[in-house]
Structure 1
Amino acid sequence: MSTPPQSPPPAGPPDDRPDRQPAVPPQPAASPHPDPQPPGAFYAQPTLVGRPAPGPPQPGNPYAQPPGYAPVPPVVTVRGGGAGRAVLWAAVGAVVASAAWAAGVFLTGVKDGGADLRGYAAPASMCSGADYSSFTGEYPQKDSAPTHTSLKERALEESYCSLGLKKTGSSYADAYLSMQLDLHKSTDPGPEFTATWKNYASSHTGYDTDPVEGIGDEAYLISQDTVTGSSGGSRYATLAVRDGWVTYLMTYSLYLTSYGTDKDPPTLTEVTGWLKTDARATLKRLRD
């Protein structure tokens, strides 16, 4: 009996061949000019998820990750009389109770008392709800068209503002400021907030991280200063605060190339002092 011819094995995908390498997509060039919107992460971030990338974090919630279902114990079939049926119904009851608990946690993300919002309320416009008066001495001109967004959902309330800071006589923004408040109503942002901001400097080259006492339950100051003389560089600082299940981010950034050689930008020490003062004032205002 003759053996039927065998079909040749199918060829693997092109990327599996030694003479072919996966194509590398072109990388976007970085713009030397700042954008009033913070470049793309908390935040993220996400939710704050993702993680914040170097530079001012994006608005968004990087923390709300739905918990997984708890493992459901298998039902064991037991043969026999009344005792066997009792064991069987006990196992079924355990399965139903476990599934109900898991579904409840998945749907609400909250157990044992609910969200700890500390009495905060998210304003419809963060541009008018936040206090940034410490910056007005250096930047007295108001932004005539700031950007603000808000979100009000069952799981999350969020209010965000981004505006340009102008010195006297400036036609364009000399620096940028953004503020973002998140009320996490379904999940506790604490663990991911700590992991993200406490370790920011270890995962992003060139940044410094310092804990800040006396603001909320925990706060971290993230900064980077590459200004050298009057020729170029940037100055960046974010204050990230968590108070219960509420998070607040305040970010300042400037690029010396757009600041003007006839103007001396504020020092990083001055900027971080303003961030701390205004963050305290804003959080107090949004709890009253």
Structure 2
Amino acid sequence: MISEPELEGELSAPATVPAPRGPEDAAETLGAGGPAFIPGPPLRQRPWVWGLAGVLVTSAVWAGALWAYGRAGPDLQGYGVSRNLCLDADLAALSARLGEKRDPFAAVGEDEALDQAVCTVNLTPKRPPERKGHPVPTVRAYAEITYTLHKKTDPGPQFDASLIEPADQGAGEQVLKLVPEVGERAYLVSRPGDASPSLEVLDGQAVLSLSVGQVTEYNDVDPLNPGFESDDQGVVHLGGLVPAMVEDMLALMDELKSD
């Protein structure tokens, strides 16, 4: 239990000086050289009352801020849902390097907690001409894009850990290379000898991914046929794509904020 602290030197009337009964007595006392004193109720201070009041005010302000945050949710920094991620992702830089955008496929899902959107698109170069008796396969690149907007929780604390995938036996250690000036944090993720790099981005409540790979379609071409030839005409070179991936990612982020 908190007791009231006593104020040292509490004022009271001196025992040797009678309390004046009125102005005349006060004047007489002054004339006699004695102190003039009109008694009143003792002064008592309660400093803990003011301290407690300050704590209560601060607590009320903090509780109000939390209540407002809970109602408004986290700051989405302008990001919104993507109705068609393949339209939002122009991929101009990658298309110039790898081939024209074709066969886009997009999907979207909305929820109170998070919005998700995906896009896959082929980047198809011009097919090299077939020489008589020497059929060639179709080699094309592709891009996969994912976008997740977290509307309730902060994805930041688990972002780095979510990029580390269990390594397949003999696949080699996964490498994360920090990419500056892209969102809040961005990594180029790859494995030694891996031809499918991915750019992973955290920007506030938004998490984005852009990966590039290649596939070879033989169609009716039999690679065991003696007439089959595999040359560099149809090979998609994925080396040195980081600047193009960064350029296209930044353009996508701006587009998602402008919707």
TM-score by structure 1 length?
0.52
Higher strand share: 2
- Tell me the SS of whatever aligns to 1:137: helix
Shift of 1:113: 6.0
What is the aligned partner in structure 2 of residue 263 from structure 1?
234
What is the aligned partner in structure 2 of residue 48 from structure 1?
none
Give the number of the structure whose alpha-carbon radius of gyration is greater.
2
Q: How does 1:129-144 map to 2 (within 5 A)?
A: 129-143=88-102
Q: Name the Cα RMSD after superposition.
A: 3.0
- Tell me the SS of whatever aligns to 1:135: helix
1:213 aligns with 2:180: yes
What is the aligned partner in structure 1 of residue 116 from structure 2?
158
Shift of 1:275: 0.9
Bigger relative contact order, structure 1 or 2, given CA contacts below 8 A and separation 6+?
Answer: 2
AA matched with 2:249: A
1:186 aligns with 2:146: no
In structure 2, the CA distance between the partners of 1:116 and 1:195, relative to structure 1 (3 Å rule), is farther
What is the aligned partner in structure 2 of residue 196 from structure 1?
162
Shift of 1:206: 3.5
**Runs (4+) of structure 1 moved beyond 4 Å?**
110-113, 170-173, 199-204, 255-258
TM-score by structure 2 length?
0.57
1:284 pairs with 230, 240, 254, which one? Answer: 254
Identity of aligned residues (%): 23
Tell me the distance in 2 between the aligned counterparts of 1:184 and 1:267.
31
Shift of 1:237: 0.7
The answer to whether the 8 Å contact 2:146/2:210 transfers is yes
1:244 aligns with 2:215: no
Shift of 1:172: 4.6
In structure 2, the CA distance between the partners of 1:129 and 1:167, relative to structure 1 (3 Å rule), is same
Deviations 1:82-141 (A, max 9, x none): xxxxxxxxxxxxxxxxxxx9xxx9xxxx84962231101222111111131111123333
Equivalent pairs, count = 170
1:275 aligns with 2:245: yes
Shift of 1:272: 1.6
Tell me the distance in 2 between the aligned counterparts of 1:140 and 1:257.
16
The answer to whether the 8 Å contact 1:162/1:176 transfers is yes
